[in-house]
Structure 1
Amino acid sequence: MNLLDSQLKNNSLSNAYIIEGEDLAYNLEYAKEFAKKVFLSHGIRTNLETNPDIEIISKDIIDIGTIRSLIKDMVIRPINNEIKVYIISNAQNLRIEAANAMLKSLEELKAYSLIIFTVDNIGKLLPTIRSRCQIISLNTTNNKFDIDIDRLSQVFAKVFAGDLSAYYKEREFLLSFKEDKTSLMEGLIKILADLINNKYLGEMGKTSYDYNIETLTSINLTRLEKLLEKFELIYRSFRNNINFELSVENIFLNIYREGRQINGCSRDKI
């Protein structure tokens, strides 16, 4: 827990984390150990099983009722008067309406609330949830994507900078993922997630494509969230058999438009 230990030491914890790992049982144990350290940082030595200020949700189906109950509890101050921890284990089991309710609560977290999601693959969570959490990956194979991230990030950066021709030059490469849409979307989402980490959490130097990330630092958090929301909508359209080629083109036209607006060229039309 080097990164988390550092944040605990420097009193710089985020309010929300995603712990991603292939071993679901280990994810939960890792989250519990993290929770113990959080309580200890507040001078609270605790047995989690008897601690009234921690709630662990672990279900095969996490429905809206479960999340509404959690949200109601979140407005109640902790008994220890310092910190409350919520662990949502196997968050990939969140129903869509429950995930949307959880998203709203993430936007309005109390200072004393800490939420920890565990998930086997971050691609199974809403991009808008991911954008509001710090991601801790336990996957040993996490950086071995089935897509060339460096190449994808170059296209992303060039299109964002106003070079729409970069998309058409790499169109064949992008459309080659027609039968593996998940890899393409996970690659795009990883670029945005790494950008958030690099820009807002000071984690430069941890990717193999830092230069491409640096060229995107003019994107503020609001615009990042807009892109994530658009990617989410397009990703859903894949599942509904919407035309793949048009969907991919839509992704990069959105990237292009966001870049033009940031560069003061919003009057230009495509």
Structure 2
Amino acid sequence: MFKNIIGHKRIKNLLQGSVQSAYFSHAYLFVGVEHLGKFTLALEFAKELIGIKDDKHPDILILKHEKNIISIKAVRELQRKLNLSSYKAKYKIAIIDNAHFLRKESANALLKTLEEPPKQGIIILIANSLGSVLPTIVSRCQIVKFWPVSNKEMRLFFLGNNISPAKARKINKIAHHRPGIVLRAIQDSKYLKEQENYLKDLQGIFKGDLIFRFNYAEKLSKDKNIAQEVLKLWILNLRVELLKKQNKSCLLVLKNLKDALYLLRTNANARLVLENMMLNIN
């Protein structure tokens, strides 16, 4: 059980113990930053409960956001299915990915199900942070906190998969102990190269003049999703540098990037946001 999942030994033991004892919470909240393997582990847990090997089954219901919104209509449809009798299994399991995208009315509708859960129903919510989910929902779930995978677990994984030390160092620089990024970098060399280039671009921005920075901002603004991923990568690497050097200017740049990332998640004009960010990088 969970043998192909990197790290998270404590969580795997917890869930495995629940399966073996047949003692579960009616609702779980898996919390942690992106790419830690929360959804993967939730799905594997659901498959163990149902007793299947395939990812798809009528008794496993998966709800994802559409354009960063989980609507009340989608929640009500999930509730309808969850209240139906199970197809063959003993349980019906709902996985709500990116639950931080629940609108207030959607969250309130879901709250009714959490307060009076179906007898055979188990709900697993997945979110980036506790603060992004309504406190009333948080209070009705068993919290399962995910953390970046330890150095030891990463070394064991790389050794077990014959990843060379040189490649492991490259992957670690972009992954920051996040299994989802590690696996993608191993499977897709083009992706690994792209991420390495984004880190080089950051150094170029520090050294470049305003014309270079504005040209880069224009290029990056063409895809808002990619822009957000690039800023997240830069933020993670600057945090590491900050821990090493305790540099005040690095701290200011980090704040500037975080502010820009926040605005990119709204309807703000991406190019204006990125150009303003470039103006404030020293």
* TM-score of the pair, normalised by structure 1: 0.48
Which has the greater radius of gyration?
A: 2
TM-score normalized by the length of structure 2: 0.46
